[in-house]
Amino acid sequence: MDIDCDGRRTRACNRKTDPYFLPETAFQSSRGEPLDSAVLPHVVVPGPGKVWDYRKSGLTGGSVVAVVYRDRVRYGVIGDTGPTGIIGEASYAMAKALGIDPDPSTGGAESGVTYIAFKNSRISPIESHARARSRGGALAREFVGR
């Protein structure tokens, strides 16, 4: 897992803490502002490309995701897009929730992270982590047949 700190400038996420910091996210909050990577657990999907186009898979900004690392499962949303050839990036907040070092320069996890995106599962507003957790839990139970 690589750490995404793009979006709203915060104490944790800014140009000094992340040399690749961008002040925007592909998807915005309900107020039309960039998402806050330090607060909102989310993942980054590759931008539409020749290999894969997330939109053709029933996914969009705000689609619910489950991220699994070791003995933890955390729910969030798709909150940003990245380069077409890279997959496996998540927000500072998602990394922290999973117990992964969230530092955008030195943190992340080499392996062992599983991402599950639920198609046609968009929540609104995108920044409602409570809705992502609730909907994610229900979708996960449905996925495993419970």
Q: What is the CATH number of the domain that holds 95?
A: 2.40.40
pLDDT of amino acid 140: 95
- Domain total for the chain? 1
**What sections of the chain are H helices per DSSP?**
92-98, 129-144
pLDDT of amino acid 85: 85
pLDDT of amino acid 92: 98
pLDDT of amino acid 103: 96
- Give the helix, strand, coil percentages of the chain, each rounded to 5: 20, 25, 55
User: Would strands 89-91 and 2-4 be described as parallel, antiparallel, or unpaired?
Assistant: parallel
Nearest Cα to 45, choosing from 95, 97, 84, 91?
A: 84
Under-50 pLDDT residues of the chain: none
pLDDT of amino acid 35: 98
What CA–CA distance (Å, rounded) separates 85 from 47?
Answer: 9
Residue 113: domain span: 2-144
In the numeric block, which tokens belong to residue 23? 């002040």
pTM: 0.95
